[in-house]
């Protein structure tokens, strides 16, 4: 059931109506039933996987909490009180070690399920490649595996919860069904955001009264804007992107550059549009889901870009992979060793450099089981590390040249970041590492800039009407992004006279109906991040 399908709209309308008609104490149960119905519709067999993750993580959380309570009650008993300070310390450390073992087992099981389903065929493919290199004629056969919808998202969300329970930053959820709702909450199941339990649970289980002004109308407006991004911009842009990347012999040079730029806007409109629908649906229900984007195309460096694009994934990797590795005892020892043997400068860099490599490798691998995603991840790592190394140079430059408040310099840094990210994203476009390099190279060897003016762009599957709609759509996105600097746009629109508000939202609705990429020649496509 795609977010942009009629079935989903019908499903939402019924759910919204029933949600506000039933007694409020049953609202979260309705959401659970709705979420599982939604998931069942995607594939009944998938339920087995989400239920396995939900049950094992929930049970492990309960078990760890029970163990910790037992330790605490022992320490407050007569025998525990008789312990010396060192004995208490050792007892606590042993308890924590036991709980860590339980957590690690559960993590291995769940990440193992994800790894087997997502990466088995990738591994087989690589083994076959190696066998080929060594001249063996034996080949392993590929395995027919299903990848349950949203497994990367719900597994990460559940894993984050479990680590938080172990760390003691959240209290384990006693109620299995409430926990099942946290893992399977339908609007965010297919493409995130990857919510944190302490964040989402605050409003997920609460009773919500019908609040037209603050929740329902605001949520519906956000859904509408999400649809606009998806069906008017992303799905239209997709036609030209598919044409360019699907015909690599024909579309070289300037076409590759155009493809990169089109893909940047397509991905942005597709992913942020999907997240707008997710957050909007949750808002209609009175539930607050974390924001996943903060005007990323206005970033002035790649580091900043990654703080503003797919925010919940970035913070997940930082909190659950980057920090645990970089401040682990082993890493600190390695840093100390490197300081004494290779000098202060290298020793200081070791934790950041090694942990970042792991994070970016994992980020690439998480996006897809293929080398292009791994190279894309490592490409990001290389660029971030180079800019990290160049920081002293930047500081010297800024000490000599005052760029504060210089709009031209600001625009230059924004464009530089946008182009750099677009170049890296071409690995995602062509999905083949050597081909990406080859196509990238043609930008410098094929001087066909004339295609911008000689009508060749009309051969990319888009007509003049489509380009006008795209230009209009991008102007709207740009204007909204610029307005967001002054605060939430919808809240400001709400203060306008009624007829202006009505004209804006009704106009947007009509544009979606009339200018959405539907029908013959258009591909009612999935959201890009659904595949992860």
Cα-based angle 53, 204, 146 (whole degrees, multiple of 5): 30
Residue with Cβ nearer other proteins (298 or 322): 322
Contact 377, 357 (CB under 8 A): no
| Residue of 355, 411, 433 lying closest to 388 (CA atoms) | 355
Which residues inside 421-480 make contact with other proteins, applying CB under 8 A? none
Q: Closest separation between CB of residue 22 and other proteins, Å? A: 39
**CA 496 to CA 500: how far, in whole Å?**
6
**CA 71 to CA 78: how far, in whole Å?**
13
Q: Closest separation between CB of residue 310 and other proteins, Å? A: 15
Q: Both ends of the chain: CA-CA distance in Å?
A: 16
Residue with Cβ nearer other proteins (43 or 324): 324
DSSP H or E segment with residue 417: helix 407-430
**CA 460 to CA 157: how far, in whole Å?**
40
Tell me how many residues contact other proteins (CB under 8 A): 25
Q: Closest separation between CB of residue 167 and other proteins, Å? A: 4
**CA 222 to CA 318: how far, in whole Å?**
29
> How buried is 521 (Cβ within 10 angstroms: 0-12 exposed, 13-18 middle, 19+ buried)?
exposed
**CA 163 to CA 161: how far, in whole Å?**
6
Site string for other proteins, 29-68 (x = CB under 8 A): ----------------------------------------
Q: Closest separation between CB of residue 111 and other proteins, Å? A: 18
Residue with Cβ nearer other proteins (101 or 167): 167
Residue with Cβ nearer other proteins (98 or 303): 303
Which residues inside 84-123 make contact with other proteins, applying CB under 8 A? 89
**Strands annotated E in 198-251:** none
Residue with Cβ nearer other proteins (124 or 331): 331
Residue with Cβ nearer other proteins (174 or 391): 391
- As a dihedral over the C-alpha atoms of residue 512, residue 518, residue 519, residue 525, rounded to 10 degrees, the angle is -160
Which residues inside 305-364 make contact with other proteins, applying CB under 8 A? 307, 318-319, 322-324, 326-329, 332, 335-336, 339, 348, 351-352, 355-356
Q: Closest separation between CB of residue 324 and other proteins, Å? A: 4
Q: Closest separation between CB of residue 346 and other proteins, Å? A: 12
Residue with Cβ nearer other proteins (325 or 494): 325
Residue with Cβ nearer other proteins (162 or 369): 162
Q: Closest separation between CB of residue 44 and other proteins, Å? A: 39
Contact 183, 84 (CB under 8 A): no
Q: Closest separation between CB of residue 332 and other proteins, Å? A: 5
Contact 326, 438 (CB under 8 A): no
- Phi, psi dihedral angles at 29 (to 5 degrees): -70, -40
Residue with Cβ nearer other proteins (13 or 386): 386
**How many other C-beta atoms are found inside a 10 Å radius of the C-beta of residue 424?**
20
Q: Which residue has the tokens 């607050």?
A: 288
Which residues inside 275-304 make contact with other proteins, applying CB under 8 A? 303
Q: Which two tokens stand for residue 166?
A: 């172990």
The string over 188-209, giving b where at least 16 C-beta atoms fall within 10 Å of a residue's C-beta and e elsewhere, is bbbbbbbbbbeebbeebbeebe
| Residue of 231, 243, 73, 47 lying closest to 150 (CA atoms) | 47
Residue with Cβ nearer other proteins (86 or 137): 86
Q: Closest separation between CB of residue 329 and other proteins, Å? A: 6
Q: Which two tokens stand for residue 287?
A: 């539930």
Residue with Cβ nearer other proteins (339 or 425): 339
Q: Closest separation between CB of residue 161 and other proteins, Å? A: 14
Q: Closest separation between CB of residue 134 and other proteins, Å? A: 41
Site string for other proteins, 141-180 (x = CB under 8 A): --------------------------xxx-----------
Q: Which two tokens stand for residue 160?
A: 């984050």
Which residues of the chain form contacts with other proteins (CB under 8 A)? Answer: 89, 167-169, 303, 307, 318-319, 322-324, 326-329, 332, 335-336, 339, 348, 351-352, 355-356, 388
């Amino acid at each position: 059931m795609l977010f942009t399908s009629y079935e989903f709209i019908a499903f939402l309308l019924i759910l919204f109506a029933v949600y506000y008609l039933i007694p409020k104490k049953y609202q979260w149960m309705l959401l659970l039933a709705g979420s599982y119905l939604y998931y069942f519709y995607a594939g009944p067999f998938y339920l087995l996987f989400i239920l396995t993750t939900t049950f094992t993580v929930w049970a492990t959380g309960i078990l760890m909490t029970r163990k910790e309570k037992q330790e605490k009650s022992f320490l407050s008993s007569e025998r525990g009180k008789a312990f010396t300070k060192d004995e208490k310390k050792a007892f606590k450390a042993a308890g924590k070690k036991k709980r860590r073992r339980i957590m690690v087992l559960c993590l291995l099981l769940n990440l193992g399920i994800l790894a087997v389903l997502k990466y088995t065929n990738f591994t087989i493919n690589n083994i076959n490649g190696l066998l080929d290199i060594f001249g063996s004629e034996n080949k392993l056969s590929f395995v027919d595996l299903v990848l349950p919808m949203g497994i990367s998202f719900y597994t990460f969300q559940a894993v984050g919860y479990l680590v938080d329970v172990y760390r003691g930053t959240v209290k384990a959820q006693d109620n299995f069904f409430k926990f099942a709702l946290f893992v399977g909450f339908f609007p965010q199941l297919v493409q995130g955001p990857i919510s944190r339990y302490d964040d989402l649970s605050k409003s997920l289980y609460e009773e919500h009264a019908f609040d037209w002004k603050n929740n329902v109308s605001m949520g519906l407006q956000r859904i509408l804007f999400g649809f606009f991004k998806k069906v008017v911009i992303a799905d239209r842009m997709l036609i030209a992107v598919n044409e360019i990347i699907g015909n690599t012999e024909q579309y070289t040079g300037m076409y590759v550059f155009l493809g990169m730029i089109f893909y940047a806007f397509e991905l942005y409109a597709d992913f942020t549009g999907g997240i707008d629908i997710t957050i909007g649906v949750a808002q209609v229900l009175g539930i607050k889901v974390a924001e996943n984007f903060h005007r990323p195309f206005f970033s002035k460096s790649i580091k900043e870009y990654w703080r503003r694009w797919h925010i919940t994934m970035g913070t997940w990797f930082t909190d659950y992979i980057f920090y645990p590795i970089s401040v682990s005892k082993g890493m600190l020892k390695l840093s100390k060793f490197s300081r004494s043997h290779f000098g202060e400068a290298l020793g200081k860099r070791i934790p950041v450099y090694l942990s970042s490599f792991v994070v970016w490798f994992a980020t690439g691998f998480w996006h897809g089981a293929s080398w292009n995603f791994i190279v894309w991840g490592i490409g990001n790592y290389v660029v971030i590390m180079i800019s990290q190394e160049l920081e002293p140079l930047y500081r010297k430059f800024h000490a000599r040249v005052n760029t504060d408040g210089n709009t031209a310099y600001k625009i230059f840094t924004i464009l530089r970041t946008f182009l750099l990210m677009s170049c890296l994203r071409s690995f995602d476009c062509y999905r083949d590492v050597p081909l990406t390099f080859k196509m990238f190279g043609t930008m410098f060897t094929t001087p066909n800039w004339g295609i911008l003016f000689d009508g060749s762009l009309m051969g990319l599957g888009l007509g003049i009407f489509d380009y006008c709609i795209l230009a209009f759509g991008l102007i709207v996105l740009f204007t909204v992004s610029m307005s967001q600097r002054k605060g939430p746009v919808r809240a400001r629109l709400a203060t306008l006279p009624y007829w202006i508000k009505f004209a804006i939202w009704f106009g947007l609705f009509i544009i979606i109906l009339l200018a959405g990429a539907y029908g013959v020649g258009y591909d009612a496509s999935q959201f890009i991040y659904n595949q992860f």
